């Protein structure tokens, strides 16, 4: 299931509240929450290092927020660089 723009923006807004403006601007700039496939949420980050940082440090937060907004269980967040999109 592809996420709508509104769903993506809602996840971004909640993540901004959690991580703060500075971290959000540095890490989540240019992020796109793309689609859900069962318990997986696919996310595209601006580059490979940012994708790794999001997966390592913020995947649990993203999964929790996305589960609330999408009203379905998200167990795994797969973050890919946009070059693989």
Domain CATH number, residue 51: 3.30.300.180
pLDDT tens by residue, 15-56: 999 999 999 999 999 999 999 999 999 999 999 999 999 999
Percent of the chain with pLDDT over 70: 98
Q: What is the separation of C-alpha 54 from the centre of its chain, rounded to a whole number of angstroms?
A: 8
Does residue 44 contact residue 80 with C-beta atoms inside 8 Å? Answer: yes
- Total structural domains within the chain: 1
Q: Which domain holds residue 32?
A: 5-84
Residue 83 confidence class, pLDDT cut points 50, 70, 90: confident
- Residues 74, 48 contacting (CB under 8 angstroms): no
Q: For residue 66, what pLDDT band results from cuts at 50, 70 and 90?
A: very high
Flag whether pLDDT at 84 surpasses 70. Answer: no
How far is Cα 85 from Cα 43, in angstroms, rounded to an integer? 10
Q: pTM score, two decimals?
A: 0.92
Distance in angstroms (rounded) separating the CA atoms of residues 36 and 6: 15
Look at the chain and count its residues.
85
């Amino acid at each position: 299931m592809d996420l709508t723009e509104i769903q993506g923006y809602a996840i971004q807004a909640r993540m901004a509240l959690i991580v703060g403006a500075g971290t959000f601007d540095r890490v989540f700039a240019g992020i796109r929450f793309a689609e859900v496939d069962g318990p997986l949420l696919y996310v595209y980050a601006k580059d490979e290092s940012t994708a790794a940082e999001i997966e390592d440090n913020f995947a649990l937060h993203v999964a929790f927020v996305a589960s609330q907004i999408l009203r379905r269980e998200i167990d795994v967040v797969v973050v890919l660089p946009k070059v693989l999109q």
